[in-house]
A and B are shown apart, each in its own frame.
Chain A
Amino acid sequence: GAGVSQSPSNKVTEKGKDVELRCDPISGHTALYWYRQRLGQGLEFLIYFQGNSAPDKSGLPSDRFSAERTGESVSTLTIQRTQQEDSAVYLCASSLEGGAKNIQYFGAGTRLSVL
């Protein structure tokens, strides 16, 4: 079956513009995660969705960042008024359920460049 799909694969934008990143999780996966990977660094947790529960937004770095998920399907990560420090690869992952023992499957990411 298809894996986690992210679009676009690359996004170049000007400082101050808004961007929207999309993630299609593996079908049937109830949990969805967003991470940010800055150059030369590990991944930072941003947000977690699990079924109909309230999302855990504790990793979002500022109020310019927001994410939505429709049911157990597509999620969008929106960054408003982009800044140069937002340049990074944004990775989405999904798992069958939440919890430490559930393997997270990752998409190839969206590389965001803010000029």
Chain B
Amino acid sequence: AQSVTQLDSHVSVSEGTPVLLRCNYSSSYSPSLFWYVQHPNKGLQLLLKYTSAATLVKGINGFEAEFKKSETSFHLTKPSAHMSDAAEYFCVVTPSDYTSGTYKYIFGTGTRLKVLA
């Protein structure tokens, strides 16, 4: 069965410092992996996705994530945090196309990022 674990429920960083949001996944087959961001009272917005192409994935707003199969990780990073990055971030895994139910997103419990001035 597929699952995803976000290791930190809350992360606080100072503006201008790097951001690291950690995500580990479990999947029997090659997964597709996504990061979404949710600002208060807004819908989920896709930051980036990994679907078995390049292992380093660049997304919007300066975020990127690296797929590491040996570590079953897909951590989200950004070199320099901005106040507008404060939000909740969700790591998502879906099974590969080799299994049924490949449309089901499996969400982590989220990491709330706080950016301090």
Q: Which residues of A contact B (CB under 8 A)?
A: 3-4, 31, 33, 35, 40-45, 48, 50, 56, 58-59, 91, 93, 95, 98-109
Size of the B side of the interface (Cβ < 8 Å), in residues, is: 27
Given A100-B32, A100-B95, A100-B97: A45 and B104 within 8 A (CB)? yes
**Could you tell me the distance between the alpha carbons of A93 and B34 in the complex, rounded to whole angstroms?**
15
A31→B43 contact, CB < 8 A: no
Question: For A99, what are the chain B residues with a Cβ–Cβ distance below 8 Å?
Answer: 97, 102-103
B contact face: mostly helix, strand, loop, or mixed? loop
B107→A50 contact, CB < 8 A: no
**Could you tell me the distance between the alpha carbons of A109 and B41 in the complex, rounded to whole angstroms?**
8
B24 interface contact, C-beta 8 A: no
Interchain Cβ contacts under 8 Å between A and B, 30 examples: A33-B103, A35-B107, A40-B109, A42-B107, A42-B110, A43-B105, A43-B107, A45-B104, A45-B105, A48-B104, A50-B103, A56-B101, A56-B103, A56-B104, A58-B101, A59-B104, A91-B44, A99-B97, A99-B103, A100-B31, A100-B32, A100-B95, A100-B97, A100-B103, A101-B51, A103-B34, A104-B105, A106-B43, A106-B45, A107-B43
Closest to B33 in A: A100
B43→A98 contact, CB < 8 A: no
Given A33-B103, A99-B103, A101-B32: A41 and B109 within 8 A (CB)? yes
**Could you tell me the distance between the alpha carbons of A95 and B36 in the complex, rounded to whole angstroms?**
15
B37 to chain A, nearest CB (A): 11
Question: For B34, what are the chain A residues with a Cβ–Cβ distance below 8 Å?
Answer: 103
B94→A42 contact, CB < 8 A: no
B43→A108 contact, CB < 8 A: yes
**8 Å CB contact of B97 from A42, A44, A101, A106:** A101
A109→B108 contact, CB < 8 A: no
**Could you tell me the distance between the alpha carbons of A49 and B27 in the complex, rounded to whole angstroms?**
24
Question: For B102, what are the chain A residues with a Cβ–Cβ distance below 8 Å?
Answer: 98-100
A103→B46 contact, CB < 8 A: yes
